[in-house]
Amino acid sequence: MRNETLEPDRFKRGQGGRPTRQEAERRHQSLLECATRLFLEKGWEGTSVDEISRQSGVAKRFIYARYPDKAALFVGALEQLIGEKAGILHSFEAVQNDAEEGLYAFGKTLLDLALRQETLAFLRLFISEAPRFPDLAKRFLDNNRHRLLGEIIRVLEVYASSGAIDLGDPETRAEQFFILIAGMPQRKALLIGREDAATEEQKLKAAIRLFLDGCRLSASPWER
């Protein structure tokens, strides 16, 4: 979540009964953690701002100073979840001397994040509610799609710099990598549950080989 959502100017002094910036950040974190838990446990209809306020110990005036309604708070909770996943990917260090081994390890990390129960639960909620709040859904996608793609690009650039792959258009390559590694497994998991570990492993290795074979080919006329 970006720092400006914390309204630092309003809370930086701690005078007149107002919380300090540190306290405001603590309350904001508590708010989002509680909102995430309740949305996952009770769904959209079963969760109210009143209950989030009560269970988080954060006053409703504090909540509404940052989020105009429940839909915006839901997006805020989802953005934090995405930020946590991006942070895990950011900590991944690519092994430069073996592209297949390195991308397999990275792909396994990405796939694990994409198939976690909390990720799937939030995606189900987001997909079901997005038609009701198209502006918020569009804002969320515009603001967050580059966070995960940026981490994929960072890893792919390691192997592009060593000559193992042709990166081409980095964003397109990152999208292709995500679709090959996690796109269909995540869709299946959303609908019918995860496949067994052996099948996931087999398909992940096949996807990595397919991605590398495609990136090693000379550019087609469509890409020139």
Nearest Cα residue to 154 out of 209, 211, 79, 103: 103
Give the class (CATH, top level) of 70-223: mainly alpha
Please tell me what DSSP assigns to residue 25: H
Give start and end residues of each alpha helix (H) in the chain.
8-11, 21-42, 49-56, 60-64, 70-90, 99-114, 117-129, 134-161, 170-178, 184-192, 197-216
Nearest to 162 by CA among 106, 213, 94, 108: 94
pLDDT for residue 15: 52
pLDDT at residue 224, rounded to an integer: 47
Which pLDDT score is estimated for 5?
38
The closest alpha carbon to 181, from 210, 214, 222, 138, belongs to 210
Mean pLDDT, 10 residues at a time, the chain of 224 residues: 38 54 88 92 91 94 93 87 84 87 95 91 85 82 82 94 92 95 94 93 96 76 49
Query: What is residue 30's three-state secondary structure?
Result: helix
pLDDT of residue 220: 52
Domain boundaries, the chain: 1-67, 70-223
Provide the 10 A C-beta neighbour count for residue 57: 10
Question: Which residue in 161, 157, 148, 168 sits closest to 214, CA to CA?
Answer: 168
Using an 8 Å Cβ cutoff, are 67 and 76 in contact? yes
